[in-house]
Amino acid sequence: MPDIKSEEIRIDSGQGRLFAKRWDPVGRITTAHSPLILLHDSLGSVELWRDFPERLARATARSVIAYDRLGFGKSDPHPGMLGIDFIRNEANEGFRDLKAALDIGRFAAFGHSVGGGMAVGIAAAYPDECEALITVSAQAFVEDRTIAGIRAAKQAFAEPGQVDRLRRYHGDKAPWVLAAWIDRWLSPDFADWNLDDALRQVRCPVLALHGEHDEYGSARHPERIAARVAGPATMHLLPGCGHVPHREQADAVLAMVGDWLADTRTPATN
Written as tens digits, the pLDDT of the chain (270 aa) is 779 999 999 999 988 999 999 999 987 544 558 999 999 999 999 999 999 999 999 999 999 999 999 999 999 999 999 999 999 999 999 999 999 999 999 999 999 999 999 999 999 999 999 999 999 999 999 999 999 999 999 999 999 999 999 999 999 999 999 999 999 999 999 999 999 999 999 999 999 999 999 999 999 999 999 999 999 999 999 999 999 999 999 999 999 999 999 998 644 444
| Cα–Cα distance measured from residue 114 to residue 190, given in angstroms and rounded to the nearest whole number | 14
Would you say 266 and 100 are in contact if contact means Cβ atoms under 8 Å apart?
A: no
What is the distance of C-alpha 27 from the center of its chain?
A: 27
Q: Helix H segments across the chain?
A: 52-60, 86-89, 94-101, 114-125, 144-157, 162-170, 174-186, 196-199, 220-228, 245-248, 250-264
Phi, psi of 28, rounded to the nearest 5 degrees:
-60, -25
Give the DSSP letter string of 168-181. HHHGGGHHHHHHHH
Phi, psi of 32, rounded to the nearest 5 degrees:
-75, -25
User: What pLDDT is recorded for position 126?
Assistant: 98
Nearest Cα neighbor of 112 from 132, 88, 135 is: 135
| Cα–Cα distance measured from residue 258 to residue 250, given in angstroms and rounded to the nearest whole number | 12
Q: Helix, strand, or coil here: 118? A: helix
Q: What size, in residues, is the chain?
A: 270
Would you say 18 and 76 are in contact if contact means Cβ atoms under 8 Å apart?
A: yes
N- to C-terminal Cα separation, the chain: 24
| Cα–Cα distance measured from residue 70 to residue 68, given in angstroms and rounded to the nearest whole number | 6
Strand 64-67 and strand 130-136: pairing? unpaired
Query: Angle 247-164-13 (CA atoms, 0-180°, nearest 5)?
Result: 75
Domain boundaries, the chain: 4-264
Nearest Cα neighbor of 38 from 20, 24, 26 is: 20
Name every residue whose Cβ is closer than 8 Å to that of residue 158 and which is 6 or more positions away in sequence. none
| Cα–Cα distance measured from residue 229 to residue 168, given in angstroms and rounded to the nearest whole number | 37
The CATH number corresponding to 4-264 among 3.40.50.1820, 3.20.20.110, 3.30.70.3040, 3.40.920.10 equals: 3.40.50.1820
